[in-house]
Amino acid sequence: MKRLALCIAVLLAITSFAGCGNKDKKVADIDFKVKTDGQYPIDTDKTLKYWVQLHESVAPNFNSLNDTVFGQELIAQTGINIEFIHPPVTQVREKFNLLIASRELPDIIEWGWYNFTGGPHMAIEDEIILPLNSVIKKAAPNLSDYLNKNPEIARSISTDEGEVYSFPMVRENDYLNTFFGPMLRKDLLDKAGLSVPETVDEWENVLYAFKNLGVEIPLATFLDNNRIKTTAPFLGAFGVSGEFYVEDGKVKFGPYEEEAFSSFVKLMAKWYKDGILDPDFVETDHSRYAALGLSGKWGAAFGSCGGNFGSWIPAITKVNPEAEFVPAKYPVLNKGDYPKFGQKNFNAGLENGCAAITTQCEEIELAARLLDYAYSDKGFLLYNFGKEGESYNMVDGIPTYTELITEPDKNGGQPMSYAIAKYARASYFGPMIQAENYMKQYAKLDVQKRAIETWADTKQTEYALPYVTLTASENSEFSTIMTDVNTYRQEQVYKLITGTYGIDKLPEYFTTLKSMGIERAIEINQQAYERYLDR
């Protein structure tokens, strides 16, 4: 009943716009003139300025989304002219900060507003972006209908004060929420007479067997803060996440859970000393890791289904036709245990690609209609599959990528993600509903499809901290604490694993985290989590 009441409260916030006061005056004063019956293209001579990061899948081939087929089709199908503005690829955050400081704002800014300093409510209070409750109700019928049917998404894109702040990136269903996990060489398992490992002990037997078979790098993985945070490789087996999580209503920080985190570090230190772990694991350059993956020198690796294994597996089997691959579940300690943690996102992807309408937008309704198109049936096809007859065709009622997307010899040798990015946005992110069918075609190898299903079999989202927001004062204090904590913990974990810092020094690691204020950071997240539950 409490969960139902919370969902009803969110929907009431969307329709009544409670709690926004005078901040909604500019929106309330709009005389909505454009038809909001969902019909496109719209007859207008207005141009909207749209600030957005040029993703790495687009940047190698295009200077602007205006140059892509996607951008041109979006303008043609909506009838709304768009001037895309892109920061330099290597200066995205710096240019975003300068843009906000300048207060010379375009009509639309696409950003991870959930992570805005002080939270999205601060962005509204500082009159950078508009609260969107009544805008969505009056001028975005497609998104409005979607949020009414998906109240948890509505709650995720609302502040604690009930303000909806962006047009979100949403994944169509759970199939899209997992894309990263462990893969092993099945032919090597067969040679060693072993099955796919489930427990940590079984993993250890397999990895040492790989070493005895002459495998140069039995285990390839990153162990930096970010990778431990998102995937908890082996750490999850000890019952904790690599970041903040919730257990029995209490917020915890996995790298501060002494018994579990110590066990993980000691295991990695042992494997490093014995030549099991990639000797260069501290070098987190993605090009190095990609080269290692393509080399086939590993026996087991943690990687992404498409970006890593999608290229590694074909390259390795081309050189070594006997090579076979098999995904494994995230490891557990005891046989029969269910994996508690692994890589699995929420359906709402708020870290990137959420579009807000700024306070300087003079054509608020038009901006809403442009963004709302992505959530329509035709917009769904454009954002995920591109232009019919070129990048996709309907086959038995299913949008199916053409060879321009799927076959490198038809698209100039481009990776599939680059080919899609010419026509659509499914291969990265944006204010849209990402299609399950996109991933089922992107992960075209059978082993990739099995991998997604295998890796998704965890309880990750039952324990993950939801999209909480911090107040300005909380954010300032939290950021100061975590900047020091994150720098220290990565340095020390690397030193502990590689032996630069004796493993007997582990107690000092936890003592230092405490002195840096980690318990206060946990308390701040606890307060934010309780506010989230009350939305």
The residue with greater pLDDT, 5 or 183, is 183
Query: Does residue 14 register a pLDDT over 60?
Result: no
* Residue 473 · residue 199 · CB < 8 Å: no
Tell me the pLDDT tens digit for each residue of 99-134: 999 999 999 999 999 888 888 999 999 999 999 999
Query: Does residue 35 register a pLDDT over 90?
Result: no
Nearby residues of 272 by Cβ (< 8 Å), 6 or more positions away? 279, 281, 497, 498, 499
Query: Does residue 65 register a pLDDT over 80?
Result: yes
Token code pair at residue 239: 């019952």
Tell me the pLDDT tens digit for each residue of 478-507: 999 999 999 999 999 999 999 999 999 999
Confidence at residue 361, expressed as pLDDT on a 0 to 100 scale: 96
Query: Does residue 21 register a pLDDT over 50?
Result: no
Confidence at residue 444, expressed as pLDDT on a 0 to 100 scale: 84
Ramachandran region, residue 32 (left: φ > 0; alpha: ψ -120 to 50; beta: rest): beta
Stretch 50-60: mean pLDDT, rounded?
A: 94
In 3D, which of 306, 300, 344 has the Cα closest to residue 326? 300
Confidence at residue 230, expressed as pLDDT on a 0 to 100 scale: 82
Stretch 404-429: mean pLDDT, rounded?
A: 91
* pLDDT confidence bin for 472, thresholds 50/70/90: confident
CA-derived radius of gyration, the chain: 24
Confidence at residue 37, expressed as pLDDT on a 0 to 100 scale: 56
Confidence at residue 307, expressed as pLDDT on a 0 to 100 scale: 78
Tell me how crowded residue 395 is: count the other CB atoms within 10 A of its CB.
10
SS3 at position 298: strand
Q: Between β-strands 392-395 and 398-401, what pairing exists: parallel, antiparallel or unpaired?
A: antiparallel
Tell me the pLDDT tens digit for each residue of 189-226: 999 999 999 999 999 999 999 999 999 999 999 999 88
* Residue 23 · residue 128 · CB < 8 Å: no
Confidence at residue 18, expressed as pLDDT on a 0 to 100 scale: 37
Tell me the pLDDT tens digit for each residue of 142-153: 999 999 999 989
Average pLDDT, the chain: 91
* pLDDT confidence bin for 3, thresholds 50/70/90: very low
Tell me the pLDDT tens digit for each residue of 279-325: 999 998 888 999 999 999 999 999 999 878 988 999 999 999 999 99
Please, what are the domains in the chain?
45-174+347-434 (3.40.190.10), 180-343+458-533 (3.40.190.10)
Rounded CA-CA distance 344/461 in Å is: 7
* Residue 278 · residue 219 · CB < 8 Å: yes
Confidence at residue 227, expressed as pLDDT on a 0 to 100 scale: 86
Tell me the pLDDT tens digit for each residue of 362-397: 999 999 999 999 999 999 999 999 999 999 999 999
End-to-end CA distance of the chain: 15
Q: Determine the number of helices (DSSP H) and then strands (DSSP E) in the chain.
A: 24, 14
∠ at Cα 317 (313, 321), nearest 5°? Answer: 155
C-alpha atoms less than 13 angstroms from C-alpha of 370 in its C-beta half-sphere: 28
Query: Does residue 271 register a pLDDT over 90?
Result: yes
The residue with greater pLDDT, 51 or 119, is 51
Confidence at residue 27, expressed as pLDDT on a 0 to 100 scale: 61
